[in-house]
Amino acid sequence: MPLYMDRHDLPGATAEQVAEAHALDLVPAAKHGVQLLAYWFDLDRGEVFCFARAPAQGDLEALHREAHGLVPNEIIGVSEDNVLRFLGKINDPSEATDGTSPFRTVLFTDLEGSTSLLQDVGEAAFMVLLTEHDLIIRRALVASRGREVKHTGDGIMASFDDVSHALECSVAIQEAFDARTADGAAQELRVRIGMAGGQPVHHNDDIFGSTVNLASRICDAADAGHILASDVIHELGAKEGFTFDMADEQVLKGFEGSTTVFELLRPN
């Protein structure tokens, strides 16, 4: 199904009004065959941009017209590769060459209490919150040269060539969610982050292997608002000037015995 980006000129609109409009879009989306992927709001310019899949441009326009009457000023067809790169995916070589290393830092995020949140606020409001959650993480990925591997439903899996970029990204993600709460967001969003390093197996734009499994389990072991890392990431990160708490032993599902993990400490 084609991918489109539309633009709404809404001078004077607030972030809350834009979020409400997006929530209204979600209600008749299936009726028009539209899959809404993401949106963002440029407050200074009063412009809203939406990414969506739709059978045709007219279906996307009809959706907005029915939902709230805010017909897009422009709708253009876009390349999926370019959109994914903009949102956080960048080229990641599947095989090592003379100029690249097969070592990767794999990072997982997980939204705390996503199931109960969905039940509390309802599907439409939850999708608005999830879209905001996704954009916060994807912006940090773009800034830190991370590659989004896939969306896990209530989190994101990402890969980094450089350990320091992964650690910087994890801090940026937590700080962005803290700032959102400090700004008085009606619904708090908290994520846990886990990461591990190694040489994952690449196949069909996805990655697999023990490094991926370890990063996922470390994420599961983290408390919301915290960042846990494997011993390899701790060792490499410490050399780059990052600070970690004392080692902790965790029993992780699928791994024999206990696994040593370290909490990344954020700058004061």
Domain borders along the chain are: 3-78, 92-263
Which helix (DSSP H) or strand (DSSP E) does residue 21 occupy? Answer: helix 15-26
- Residue 88 is predicted with a pLDDT of 45
- Banded pLDDT at 47 (limits 50, 70, 90): confident
Are both 3-78 and 92-263 of the same fold? Answer: yes
- Residue 80 is predicted with a pLDDT of 56
Say which CATH topology domain 3-78 has: Alpha-Beta Plaits (3.30.70)
Mean pLDDT to the nearest integer, 248-260: 93
Which helix (DSSP H) or strand (DSSP E) does residue 6 occupy? Answer: strand 3-9
Whether 107 contacts 166, CB under 8 Å: yes
3-state DSSP assignment of residue 123? helix
Residue whose token pair is 């907005």 = 64
Whether 108 contacts 219, CB under 8 Å: yes
- Residue 120 is predicted with a pLDDT of 92
Going by the DSSP 8-state scheme, the letter that residue 223 receives in this structure is P
Task: Determine which of 41-45, 108-112, 196-200 has the lowest per-residue pLDDT on average.
Answer: 41-45
- Residue 211 is predicted with a pLDDT of 92
Q: Is the pLDDT of residue 181 over 50?
A: yes
Say which CATH topology domain 92-263 has: Alpha-Beta Plaits (3.30.70)
- Residue 63 is predicted with a pLDDT of 92
* Rounded-to-integer distance, Cα 98 and Cα 219, Å: 32
Question: Strand 35-42 and strand 47-53: pairing?
Answer: antiparallel
Whether 43 contacts 108, CB under 8 Å: no
Q: Is the pLDDT of residue 248 over 90?
A: yes
Whether 105 contacts 33, CB under 8 Å: no
- Sign for the pseudo-dihedral over CA of 140, 146, 151, 157: negative
Whole-number Cα distances in Å, 115 to 15, 112, 121, 153? 25, 9, 10, 11
| Mean pLDDT, the chain, whole residue set | 86
- Residue 84 is predicted with a pLDDT of 52
Q: Is the pLDDT of residue 142 over 60?
A: yes
User: pTM of the entire structure?
Assistant: 0.66
Whether 67 contacts 28, CB under 8 Å: yes
Residues 6+ apart with CB under 8 A from 138: 38, 87, 88, 148, 156
Q: Is the pLDDT of residue 163 over 70?
A: yes
35 beta partners? 53
